[in-house]
Homo-oligomer: A and B are copies of this chain.
Amino acid sequence: MKSNHVTLKDIARILELSPSTVSRALKDHPDINEETKRLVKTFAEKVNYRPNALALSLRRQKTNTIGLIIPEIVHHFFSSVISGIEDLAYGEGYNVMICQSNENYQREVIDTQALIDHRVDGILVSVSKTTKDFSHLKTAHENGIPMVFFDRICEDILTDRVITDDFKGAHIATSHLIDRGCRNILHLAAPQHLIIGSQRKEGYIKALQDRNIPVDEDLIVKCDTREYVASLREHLLKLIKEKKVTGIFAVNDSTAIAAMQALQSADYKIPDDIKVIGFGDGPNAEIAYPPLTTVEQKGYETGREAMRLLLQRLENPGIEINYSTKVLTPTLKQRQST
């Protein structure tokens, strides 16, 4: 922020006008003489004048910036969410301040604070995997900051929400495996304190029950990353062999793909010997071999919808009732892994 910036005052001084006149001329105030307007505008243009957003925000008590707290940008789902948010936000004259929590609770707290410090008009958040205490968000919300949760929500805080119907998605995925002839189905699950984790597990269980297949708790393994699969490789292979597993439902695509690779390295043929389905449908699913069947989770729509709900709050301040939850239902994307 070097001082080479022309200010209103500078213009006023040079043109021998008052700052207020310049200010008004610039925004086409009807009171101002056309002549003066032209003079001011041309000059401002010439010297490349740009109003200081900080001063404006301070003055207006509105930053036109919304904060976004997102676990990890690298994931295709989340970067799609960002695009959905940005496209709508920019269109409405809002900037987006993106904070990456890196699935780290401490960082999430700091990020929340930073957003508040910058007086963002509202916050969009998907909580980190390691967050178990939500008081940082709760406090912000109680202080009146409009907030929308998406994907990984916090049930204790009553706000607008955008979620994927994880239960149904998992049900669809598991049912698909059953339809393809699988009975002993392994579920690679996310931590159960994440709603996403429990919902997907519940959907899996319900699908089995609906078809009268007994649920075997041993076939539910907490394992939700590529690295996790690597470290559990022996255990998983043993389990698959002993339990005669013929289908795997993984809580996300990259875990599913890692599982396929582990299987292939142990000479299993996919989908002949064992079928694998993921959740999320990022571009990885198409790149994998064989291309991965999965249920698609709409990142862009999630972002857009979250932003839409937030904008609605921003435009109708004070009305704190009628929080709505938008549920996006995933659909089956069949490829060659099942």
Residues of A at the B interface (CB closer than 8 Å) are: 1-5, 48, 50-55, 57-58, 61-63, 73-74, 76, 79-80, 82-83, 86, 90, 95, 97-98, 100, 102, 110, 113-114, 116-121, 139, 143-145, 226, 254, 257, 261, 283-284, 287-289, 317
A3 to B1, CA, bound (A): 27
A73 adjacent to B63 (CB under 8 Å): no
Which of B2, B53, B73, B145 sits near A2, CB closer than 8 Å? B145
B117 adjacent to A1 (CB under 8 Å): no
Which of B74, B82, B97 sits near A76, CB closer than 8 Å? B74
User: How many copies make up the complex?
Assistant: 2
B288 adjacent to A61 (CB under 8 Å): no
Which chain B residues lie closer than 8 Å to A117 at the CB level?
50-53
B317 adjacent to A119 (CB under 8 Å): no
Which of B63, B113, B257, B283 sits near A1, CB closer than 8 Å? B63
Which chain B residues lie closer than 8 Å to A287 at the CB level?
254, 257, 261, 284, 287-288
Which of B5, B63, B145 sits near A119, CB closer than 8 Å? B5
> In angstroms, how far is the closest chain B Cβ from the Cβ of A253?
10
Which of B48, B54, B86, B113 sits near A54, CB closer than 8 Å? B54
> In angstroms, how far is the closest chain B Cβ from the Cβ of A262?
13
A49 to B238, CA, bound (A): 56
Which chain B residues lie closer than 8 Å to A57 at the CB level?
1, 54
Q: Which of A102, A113, A119, A144 has the most CB of B within 10 A?
A: A119
Q: Can you spell out 17 A-B residue pairs with CB atoms less than 8 angstroms apart?
A: A1-B57, A1-B63, A1-B119, A5-B119, A5-B143, A48-B139, A52-B117, A52-B119, A54-B58, A58-B58, A73-B83, A74-B79, A95-B114, A226-B283, A254-B287, A261-B287, A283-B284
